[in-house]
Every structure is written in C-alpha cells, then in structure tokens.
Chain A
Amino acid sequence: MKKVFQLQDLDCANCAAKMERAVAKIDGVREVNVSFLAQRMSIDADEARFEAIMDQVVKTCKKVEPDCTIVR
C-alpha cells in the first residue's frame, strides 16, 4: 500500500535525504521517497503492518530530524 504524508518544518535538503535513507532501512518498507520541496513523504509498505511500520517511521524521523513532524 502506498501512502503520502505531509511533512511539517522540514528545513534542510540533506536531512530529507538522510530521512529517506533511514526510513528505507525499516523492515517492511518497500519504497520511500522524501521530497524536500514538496514537503512530502510517500511510503510504499506492507499493508498488513502499515500502522506499525508508520510508528517506526515516525520514530526514525524524530531521530534524524527532530524538528520535522509527519502529519498522519
């Protein structure tokens, strides 16, 4: 299942790339794309575990870029 999330206060382009790399490593995430300019993250992940994966994603992003919040 693919879903797009709005990102708030994503301030630096390199952080977007870092978030993308970090999220891609999460188990169950098939594809992830963070667009700095559109302030969006699109995630393709295992549908059955989507919510659990998203929790993981939010946690990872908090670590990489604490200022940025994912609007769920």
Chain B
Amino acid sequence: MKKTSLSRREQRTLIRILVSLALFLIVFLTDKIMPGGLGGVFDGAAAWVFPFCLYLIIYLLIGYDVLWRAVRNIAHGQVFDENFLMCVATLGAFALAIYRGTTGQEIEGFDEACAVLLFYQIGEFFQRYATGKSRKSIAALMDIRPDYAFVRRGSEVKKTDPAEVQVGELIVVGPGEKIPLDGIIVRGTSTLDTKALTGESLPRDVSEGDEVISGCVNLTSQIEVRTEKAFYDSTVSKILELVENAAEQKSKAENFITRFARYYTPAVCGIALLLAVVPGLITADWPTWIYRALSFLVVSCPCALVISIPLSFFAGIGAASRYGILVKGSNYLEKFNQANVFVFDKTGTLTRGNFAVTCVAPADRREEILRLAAIAEQGSSHPIARSIVACYGRPAEEGYLLTNIAGEGVRAERDGDVILCGNEKLMAQNGIDVVRETGIGTIIYVAHNGRFVGSLLIADELKPEAKEVIGALSGMNCKTVMLTGDNEAVAENVAGQLGVSEYRASLLPQDKVTQLEDLLARKQPSDAVCFVGDGINDAPVLMRSDIGIAMGGMGSDAAIEASDIVLMKDDLRGIPLAKRIAKKTMAIVRQNIVFSIAVKAAILILSAFGIANMWIAVFGDVGVAVLAILNAMRVNSRYKGAAEQETTTK
C-alpha cells in the first residue's frame, strides 16, 4: 500500500488505526502475560476499573467518530444505522464486562469490546481504500476530458474553453496535448496516442486531410485542426457522458441486494431483541443471552452486502473499458452474459466494406498478374481498379496508352506490348481462351500479348478476425446470424467461409428490423439477442435488440447513442472478450451474494447457540466485506488473449 496514493483524511485514519492497534496489543498482551492480569493490579471490588479505563481510552481513540456519528444519526431518526449498531454492540459488551466486574466474577470482555470496534474501523478503512481505488481506475477514463483548446483567430492563438470553440474554427494542438474537438487536420503531420479511447497501444500516424478524434493525445508535433463538431457533440463528450452514466443503470443483482439489505438489518435487529429477552426471561441467564444478541447486532450491518455487488459490476465495466469496450450500464453487462444469439450486419461489420483482391489464379504467377493488372488499372478511380493497384502495392509502370472499353475492361498498349484486363467478354472479343473462375465477387481476367495470364477475384474483404470470432462465439454456444443485402449466392459463400449458423440474404435496409423482431419473437425468455453493426444506418436495429453493439464507435456519435455496448476499436474480437468479462463479472457477483449471505447466516446461527463470539461476528461484518471486495477486484485481472490483441492489431 503506497502512502502517496492516500488522501490526507485516509492517512490520518490510518495513523489512528495503527496507534490504537499498537496500544491495544500492548494492553492486551500485558493483561495476558502478567500473573493475575491487569485486574490484579488493584485489589478489592473495584479491581475491574483499572483495565476498564485502559481499554476505554483505546476505545475512545479508535471509535470517537463512530460514537459521534451514531449520536447524530439517531437524532435524525436513523435507527438502523451502522454506526449506531456498532456502538450498541460494543458499549453493551462493555456494560456486560462491568457487570461481571462488579459482581465479583472474572474480569474479562473489555478487550473484546475494544477489538470489535478496532476491527470495524480497519475493515471500513480497507473498504474505502478499495472502492476509491476501483473508482480511480474508471476515473482514468475521465482523463480524456480536454481542459482547454488553442484557437487560431486571425493572427493570434488564444487559449479557450473547448466548449466555446465553434464548428469550422482552427485549433492548434501541440505535442503532448489532448485533441479537444473532433476535426480534420489542415496542417502538420503527427502521431496520435488513442490508447485512452480504444485500448490500442500502437500510436496512429496522421497527416493533412485525416480525421482526428477528440480525446486522443498528440504525440510528436504540432498540428492544426479544423473542427467538425462542437464540443458537446464531439466523441470525447459522448464517451464521458456514457461512462458517467454507466453506473446509473442498475442491474437486477444490485437491486436485489439493496432490497435485501433493507429488510435484513431490521429483521436481524428484531431477532437480536427477541434473543435477548425471551431466553433471558426463561433461563434468567441474562448476560449470556444479551451477549449473543449483541453479536447479532454486529452481524446485522448491511454495508458489506451492499457494497460488493455494485463494486463487482463497476470493476467489470472498468475492465472492459481498458480494452476499448464501453458498456453503458451494469444491467447491460448482466444481460450480455445471457446473450446467446448474435446477429451481424455483413457489410462493414463482418467485412471491411471495401473491395480487395481476395484470390489470384494461378497462384504461382501472382506477381506477374498483379503487375500487369496494375498497369492497366492505374488510371481508373473505380473501387475495383483501386483495389488492384493497392494490392500490387508498388507504383505501376507508366507510359502505356490506356483505353477504357466500356462494360468490358481496359486495354493498355506501349510499343506493341498489349495488356488486356477485364471481364470474360473482353477476352472473348479478342479471341483469348481463359481458364474460367467461379468465385463469388468480380472476376478480372488478364491477358498479355494475346496470351491468357491469369485472373483476379475481387470481393468485399472479410475482416481477418471475423472467422475466429464467429468460431469463438459458437464455442460459447451462441447462435450467429448474418444479415445482408447481398444476393443468396454471395451470402451463402460468406456464411460458409465464416461458419455462421444462419444467414438472411437479399434484405433491404428496413428488412433488418423485421428480421430482428422475428428472432426476438422466437427466443426463450432467458435468451438475449445481440445485434452487431457499424452504426451506419442501423440505429433502429441497434435500439430494438436486447443488446446493441456498435463497432468502431470512434466518430460515430449516433452509434454511441443507439447502442448499449460500444467497441471503440473496429475489431470484432472485442465481442468474445466482452462476453468473457461479462461472464466473469456475473460469476463474481453470484459468488459474492451467496458467500456474504451464507457467512452472515452461519455466524448468526452459531452466535445464537453461543458457539461464535463477538470476534467472529465482527469478521462476519468487515471480514466478509473485505473478502467480497478482493473478489470483486479479480474482475479487473488481465484477460488471456486480450493482451496480444492490444499489441498486434493495428
């Protein structure tokens, strides 16, 4: 535990606890070691006064604030207040010890009353420390909030509040500064750190004309950005809003535990009263039964129960945010754990949404085919042509005369060297025999000087991680459904490649909602249907689904608003990862509920029969809380496989 991470108030409490603990140990050990104990120092009927005074000093030192709060809260009518319950229990224990002393019995019980309060304070301190720590991990996300913006107005650069910057103004962002508003770079080249937003540790290179997202940190050099959005519409504001509201949506588990606590404390206090009075009347052994009732009061404190559940969810949301997965509330994390039907939009979600050369045949002539095709296609701005040039990756040879043959392809000629690049029709026109290809997508044939060289298959490229993710989800017993506007043949092919369990082809954009509703209507009540989309034009579907997941949330504020979980990074692997985090969170939540209630119940039963004493009872309160908190912190541990994701993907 580093001292520097504690606030002044916490430090003071810690010192007070340590001093009291030391004093307590000194007195306690002296009492045990000394022949006859501290009670033997003075003789006579008032022998109990000496140890009583020593323990009382320690008691007051450690517990004066608890006593004060108890008095104050009682004045406000808060009967089942934790401080009050602790005071009644410990003061009651003192009273019993004094009773024993005055009636000439063995002098004991002062140490116990003192220790209970001491442990209570230690537990409270640890609770505060742990919650503060996990709160800080979320607060790290709040670090993305930009405090100022440098606006260029005319010739001067002025430091202003980001909220006052208008759309279309020029802002200057120096190295090491946060980008305050979304915009487009008009001057300068730099590297951006997007880690706070996406969990992606690899910096991103940007140059003039590139879009930049607020919340990123400018690393290397100064850039000038023309703002595209006002501060309140900027990505950073949307994310902050989302994170700040995350704790508001309470899960069923949280509601259950607060409701439980509401009845638990009065019930246990009631039983304590009965326990003191009824057997006391019957057996007339008042001290024993009052002591047992006081133990009940110690266990009846509700905070241990109430704190561990939201803390587990909070830790889960925090863990997810570290990987660029924003969850809008604990209820969504709870529901996502049940999600077993995943509906994907094909274009832009499972595929990159752009064209790329996916197959070159024959493969051994790949280089030559690409080189020739790139020469022919270099002049065109058609997506297919561009994908060929991009695939070739080097500057194509120049100096060819390019002739576009509409609906067929391109003819390139230089000094009698003729390249033909186009569809089957073009080849047939020129009397060239081709090896026919039947892949899904656009097939481009390439011929060189009247001889067929090979063909290229150009298709919408699948995301490299798509297959792995579908596999992972199927492994978690989830059904995967692909929705697409493509025709049956393309859909069947893609579905087959990815291994999705179902697909729906030839859908119009508005059909997606109908399809989703169909799935929702067929599901079991315990199931949850998840829709994954890129946030473009699918806001209604995102909203209609049980859990809407938007991909690549950076920059798309509509998607952030409509969805329940946002993957800041355009990487599908966030979905199984989020599912694992949700699963682990829910497992820990369940453990904590069962563990806290079971331990408390066990201690109550044991103390009712006099087997457990007040020392164990105080463990039932703070010990359980501490263990539950430690358990909750496990949610935040590293996730296997996710660490690689942080470093390998670009």
Contacts and interface: CB of A to CB of B under 8 A. Distances in A.
Contacts of B72: 66
Contacts of B375: none
Contacts of A36: 131, 307, 310
B128 A63 contact: no
Contacts of A11: 128
A29 to B, nearest CB: 15
B247 interface: yes
Contacts of B135: 37-39
Contacts of B138: 37-38
A39 B136 CA distance: 12
A37 B248 CA distance: 10
Nearest to A9: B9
B248 A33 contact: yes
Interface in B30-70: 69
Contact of B262 (A12, A17, A40): A17
A14 B134 contact: no
Nearest to A12: B303
A64 interface: yes
B314 interface: yes
A14 B301 CA distance: 9
A14 B303 contact: yes
B247 A38 contact: yes
A17 B246 CA distance: 17
Contact of B261 (A17, A38, A66): A17
Interface string B270-312: 0000000000000000000000000000000011001100110
Interface string B100-142: 0000000000000000000000000000100100110010000
B261 A14 contact: yes
Contacts of A35: 247-248, 310
Most chain B Cβ neighbours within 10 Å, of A4, A14, A38 = A14
A30 to B, nearest CB: 14
A69 B236 CA distance: 28
A38 B141 CA distance: 13
Interface residues of A, number: 20
Given A37-B131, A64-B76, A13 B247 contact: no
Interface string A51-72: 0000000000001101100000
A61 to B, nearest CB: 11
Contacts of A66: 69, 72-73, 76
Interface string A15-35: 001100100000000000101
Interface of B is mostly: helix
A67 B78 CA distance: 14
Contact of B244 (A4, A12, A18, A64): A4
B82 interface: yes
B261 A37 contact: no
B244 A38 contact: yes
A24 to B, nearest CB: 12
B258 interface: yes
Range, interface on chain B: 20 to 34
B76 A17 contact: no
Nearest to A21: B262
A38 B595 CA distance: 25
A4 B246 CA distance: 13
A13 B78 CA distance: 15
Given A17-B262, A66-B73, A37 B311 contact: yes
A40 B306 CA distance: 17
Contact of B314 (A12, A33, A37): A37
A59 B138 CA distance: 30
Contacts of A39: 135
Given A35-B248, A40-B244, A63 B310 contact: no
A42 B248 contact: yes
A65 to B, nearest CB: 8
B82 A14 contact: yes
Contacts of B134: 37
Contacts of A63: 76-78
A36 B130 CA distance: 13
B306 A13 contact: yes
Given A13-B306, A14-B306, A40 B258 contact: no
Interface string B381-402: 0000000000000000000000
Nearest to B241: A4
Contacts of B310: 13, 35-37
Nearest to B307: A13
Interface string B450-486: 0000000000000000000000000000000000000
7 contacts: A12-B82, A33-B250, A35-B247, A42-B245, A63-B78, A66-B69, A66-B76
Interface of B: 69, 72-73, 76-78, 82, 128, 131, 134-135, 138, 244-248, 250, 258, 261-262, 302-303, 306-307, 310-311, 314
List the 7 shortest-distance A-B pairs measured between CB atoms, nearest first: A35-B247, A13-B307, A13-B306, A38-B247, A17-B258, A37-B314, A14-B306
